[in-house]
Amino acid sequence: MATTRKKKSAAEEKVNLDSILFKCRDILRQARNSGSFFEKRDMMLTLVFLRFIGERFEDGVENLRKELAAQGYNLDDPSIKAAFLDDPTFTDGTHNLLPEARWSTIINTPAPALNVALDTALESIASNSKALKGCFVKGTFTARNLAANDIKKLVDEVNKISHKVFGEEKDLIGRVYEYFLKEFAVNATKEEGEYYTPHDVVQLIAAMIEPFDGTLYDPCCGSGGMFIQSAELVKAKKGDISRINIYGQEKEPATYRLAKMNLALRGISHNLGEEADSSFTNDLHKGLYFNYIMANPPFNLKGWYNENLKNDARWADYTTPPESNANYAWILHILSHLKPLDGVAGFLLANGALGDGDTVEIRKKLIKNDKVEAIIILPRELFITTDISVTLWILNQNKKGGTYHGRKLRNREQEILFMDLRTWSENPVKNESKKKVRLIAEQIERAASIYHDWQNEGTNGRHYEEPELYRSVGIAEIEKNGWSLVPSKYIEFIDHDLEIDYEKEMGRIQSEMRDVLAKERESQKMLEDAFRGIGFGLNGGGRSR
């Protein structure tokens, strides 16, 4: 008898971030007036922001209530409520929200009034927070004016996204941003190089250069993910994020606003300039030098150049980078902002930058000037929005040695460390529509220790290598290879086919084949004998005479 399968209750269903975002995507795709990809993304990310800032406010009030109760205050006393809870003050970066801006108000607003309520909330937040001023487009929701049913369904789905549920996500707004890049950007975003940097890649860069104090800069900061995740790493190491001063710049206005939202939401002080603009044509932090630079510039960016950049000071000591590709413009821009004595930068570029023919003179001078410290090729499929393998470059203004974060460094002048991590692809990420891998904590720690051990006193750089993984190389050898920084030209890759004893292997295969043929002949003979015994011949198919 067939049994009826019991339907799981909503509480029993495991809440999945991607499934929620998938539903939101479909609601926006089917809704009238939902606008372009960028407008859909703006609406979605603004909703998520309102959800998160509202949740933080609610958590802040709850923590405040607990503190007051622990100190013996009567929370039912109207005077206590008026003094502490009606207009609360927080010391951890949590924003005080007026009633119209709170998520509890939004989620309980009738569907026909939701578009107006959402824009009212944004206007209230922008008016009462200096850090969030200019983060929102006026009329984000009323201009689009989604049908009451559509905006209600969207708000109800976003209500399911909570840091209490998805607490393991270090940069949840960034994760939502990444999802909508992947799902909505069918046209030009890959060509524009708009990629969200995965958490494990940021961890690797941070583990390498250790940006734990001083100034940190990102010239193409996107949604602010580098800053968010670096701050999380500092906190994990019991550091103080107030000791880090964050500077950044972002060209796309919507992404610039998102970065400001993301950083303000977490109480991270920052200077992203007064507007969104190109780091090349309008450097908002011109003349400033930073302890650390972390960046994931758009890969192979075209259209970056104009005639005003021909004699720019950033490449005056080198040559003007090719107009066709911004890779070396990014390198020289980053170098121009590094503190001259001890600045360190870790950034990603497409692998083509390692050996481009039209940039060989710039690369040659960078190497001879001892600016390049390490070149690390990463595994393929680390990014959701592209499957190419990319390179982590580390520039260092001080290869002479000294003390760095409690470590004693040796003189590494005239040396570059090469690493190739492309074989580290054994950790797949599940539930993705195409193959994606990640670097696990042990791998990140291993890569960082290879780099740090190479830097440390007591290491002999002339004999620092492990076949198929890393090797320290002198500049003289790099010159012999035409100033190429392609790691496979320097790291020993073993031809495992040469390890095979072919005569022995062929003898083994022939022996196995003889055994197989002998067994087949024996089976055939047994089968023929059996059929003859019952009066059939295998060749004739009928009864034998």
Q: What is the domain-level CATH number for residue 30?
A: 1.20.1260.30
Instruction: Specify whether 197 is located in the same domain as 131.
Output: no
pLDDT value at position 498?
A: 45
Phi-psi region of 139 (alpha: psi -120 to 50; beta: other; left: phi over 0): left
pLDDT value at position 544?
A: 35
Check whether 50 has a pLDDT greater than 60.
yes
Which of 60-64, 232-236, 280-284 has the lowest average pLDDT? 232-236
Alpha carbon distance 386, 458 (integer Å): 40
Check whether 495 has a pLDDT greater than 70.
no
Instruction: Specify whether 341 is located in the same domain as 205.
Output: yes
Instruction: Specify whether 302 is located in the same domain as 360.
Output: yes
Instruction: Specify whether 479 is located in the same domain as 508.
Output: no
Long-range contacts of 314-322, Cβ-Cβ distance < 8 Å, separation of 24 or more? 315/362, 317/365, 318/361, 318/362, 318/365, 318/366, 319/361, 319/362, 321/359, 321/362, 322/356, 322/358, 322/359
Which of 89-103, 155-169, 288-302 has the lowest average pLDDT? 155-169
Which of 104-113, 190-199, 231-240, 493-502 has the lowest average pLDDT? 493-502
**Cβ pair 343, 292 in contact under 8 A:** yes
Q: What are phi and psi of 236, to 5 degrees?
A: -65, -30
Pairing of the two strands 465-466 and 292-295: unpaired
Nearest to 165 by CA among 12, 17, 11, 53: 17
Between helix 37-70 and helix 17-30 the angle, nearest 10°, is 130
**What would the mean pLDDT of 361-365 be, rounded to a whole number?**
97
- Determine what percent of the chain is predicted with pLDDT higher than 70: 84
Phi-psi region of 35 (alpha: psi -120 to 50; beta: other; left: phi over 0): left
pLDDT value at position 13?
A: 41
Q: Is residue 56 part of a domain?
A: yes
Instruction: Specify whether 146 is located in the same domain as 221.
Output: no
The one-letter amino acid code at 359 reads T
**What would the mean pLDDT of 60-77 be, rounded to a whole number?**
86
Tell me the two tokens of residue 160.
């399911």
Q: Is residue 496 part of a domain?
A: no
Q: Is residue 10 part of a domain?
A: no
What is the rounded end-to-end Cα distance, in angstroms, of the chain?
56
Instruction: Specify whether 341 is located in the same domain as 461.
Output: yes
Which residues on adjacent β-strands are paired with residue 418?
375, 471
Alpha carbon distance 87, 76 (integer Å): 16
Instruction: Specify whether 224 is located in the same domain as 143.
Output: no
pLDDT value at position 10?
A: 42
Instruction: Specify whether 223 is located in the same domain as 79.
Output: no
Q: Please, how many CA atoms are within 13 Å of residue 245, restricted to the half-sphere of its CB? A: 7
Tell me the two tokens of residue 391.
């390179």
Q: Read off the pLDDT of residues 508-529 as tens digits, 9 standing for 90 and up.
A: 767 777 777 777 777 777 766 6
Instruction: Specify whether 471 is located in the same domain as 347.
Output: yes
Instruction: Specify whether 284 is located in the same domain as 373.
Output: yes
Alpha carbon distance 437, 419 (integer Å): 18
Check whether 7 has a pLDDT greater than 50.
no
Structural domain boundaries enclosing 506? 501-545
Nearest to 218 by CA among 131, 290, 303: 290
**Cβ pair 248, 221 in contact under 8 A:** yes
The one-letter amino acid code at 449 reads S
pLDDT value at position 239?
A: 65
**What would the mean pLDDT of 146-169 be, rounded to a whole number?**
85
Among residues 445, 464, 489, the one where a domain terminates is 489
Among residues 489, 519, 536, the one where a domain terminates is 489
Residue appearing with tokens 């008016």:
127
Q: Is residue 179 part of a domain?
A: no
**What would the mean pLDDT of 540-544 be, rounded to a whole number?**
40
Instruction: Specify whether 37 is located in the same domain as 156.
Output: yes
Tell me the two tokens of residue 353.
């930058």
pLDDT value at position 131?
A: 78
pLDDT value at position 472?
A: 98
pLDDT value at position 502?
A: 53
Alpha carbon distance 101, 348 (integer Å): 39
The one-letter amino acid code at 520 reads E
Nearest to 269 by CA among 224, 238, 330: 224
CATH number of the domain that residue 469 is part of: 3.40.50.150
Q: Is residue 264 part of a domain?
A: yes
pLDDT tier, 171 (very low <50, low <70, confident <90, very high otherwise):
low
Which of 30-39, 204-213, 315-324, 453-462 has the lowest average pLDDT? 30-39
**What would the mean pLDDT of 327-343 be, rounded to a whole number?**
97
Among residues 135, 168, 201, the one where a domain terminates is 168
Q: Is residue 446 part of a domain?
A: yes
Q: Read off the pLDDT of residues 403-425 as tens digits, 9 standing for 90 and up.
A: 998 899 999 999 999 999 999 99
Check whether 443 has a pLDDT greater than 50.
yes
Instruction: Specify whether 244 is located in the same domain as 158.
Output: no
Number of domains in the chain: 3
pLDDT value at position 190?
A: 39
Q: Is residue 144 part of a domain?
A: yes
Alpha carbon distance 180, 41 (integer Å): 6
Q: Is residue 204 part of a domain?
A: yes
pLDDT tier, 338 (very low <50, low <70, confident <90, very high otherwise):
very high
Length of the chain: 545
In whole numbers, what is the pLDDT of the chain averaged over residues?
Answer: 84
Check whether 272 has a pLDDT greater than 70.
yes
